[in-house]
Structure 1
């Protein structure tokens, strides 16, 4: 059995479609939120496609940090089953998401998550999600009073400040450190 690139002599082989990774979004990358424009751009370029609504299979904390930025915490069994959206993303699209999420700067880290798709008989699939970096995740959980949200809704996001409107003289990690060291609301 041949592959797509085993074309007969004289014919140009068909390019194989790029491998896709499932990515679970739970915050500002969801439809209707400020960073969704990146997924729309990736979709127009063929680097992302919407799979469906999904919910984490396990309970995980979803909290807000400085400027109402959402963070999923890798603390299974705490929090709620978190609602979000699932996307199929190419390696190029994943690199763009990594850049937005500050993976190389230790803002978020890309870790596996198991989610249940809302449609199609509740299929359970493995995906990646962007979690708060382990260096400060526990502090965010304590700062939140060890209470999370089942969904980053517009009500939860009220007061969100876009990156361009935040203080530019501090790194995001500095902003997180200040936030977790301040008293909770």
Structure 2
């Protein structure tokens, strides 16, 4: 169990959730006592949850847009936080860890302050526009269909280059929005 004095609360909404490809990191952290599952939560405010290149999920720090987003809350140690920052490419400008307010999925109206990994501000607005200013309320298996693991992506471009190419490409290739909007 993570020591309460050093614990940070992290809201996961995409591939770090149970059942998705990057959850293995949280499983490792739970096994070493550096993380613990708190419960299912959703954002207090609406935020865009969209998919970028390779169906990678991005929560965008554009409060008031999008929907209330469902996810999982974890208490993590400083060691775990460093590993999660590394996975999310914080120092590379892929994502940025910022505050977020949550409420329990069980109807509890108590507001919980945590942090989340948002798509970096350098491309957030362009990614929102590229997705037709429509987002999901949950990154589900159906929404994630077509997700490409990092090891299987082209290695001749950085992730930021892949994002820039995605946002500049035709919106005709935006996936069908009818799938799993309320899944």
**Alignment TM-score, normalising by the size of structure 1:** 0.89
Looking at structure 1, the residues matched to 18 and 74 of structure 2 have their Cα atoms a distance apart, in angstroms, of: 11
1:115 paired to 2:114 = no
Instruction: Report the more deviating stretch, 18-27 or 78-87.
Output: 18-27
Which ranges in structure 2 are unaligned for 5 or more consecutive residues?
A: 174-183
Match of 2:6, SS state, is coil
Query: How far apart are 1:170 and its partner, in Å?
Result: 0.8
Equivalent residues in 2 for 1:41-56, closer than 5 Å: 41-56=28-43
Q: Distance in 1 between matches of 2:129 and 2:108?
A: 36
Q: CA deviation at 1:61?
A: 0.2
- Unaligned runs of 5+ residues in structure 1 are 1-15
SS at match of 1:58: coil
Cα separation, partners in 2 of 1:152 and 1:17, compared to 1, 3 Å = closer
Find the counterpart in structure 2 of residue 4 from structure 1: none
Q: Number of paired residues?
A: 170
The TM-score, its normalising length taken from structure 2, stands at 0.90
Whose Rg is larger?
A: 1
Q: How does 1:97-112 map to 2 (within 5 A)?
A: 97-112=84-99
Report the CA distance between 1:118 and its aligned residue. Answer: 2.2
1:91 correspondence with 2:78: yes
Aligned to 1:180: 167
| SS of residue paired to 2:146 | coil
Q: CA deviation at 1:120?
A: 7.8
Q: In the alignment, which residue of structure 2 is the partner of 1:81?
A: 68
Judge which range, 112-121 or 38-47, deviates more.
Answer: 112-121
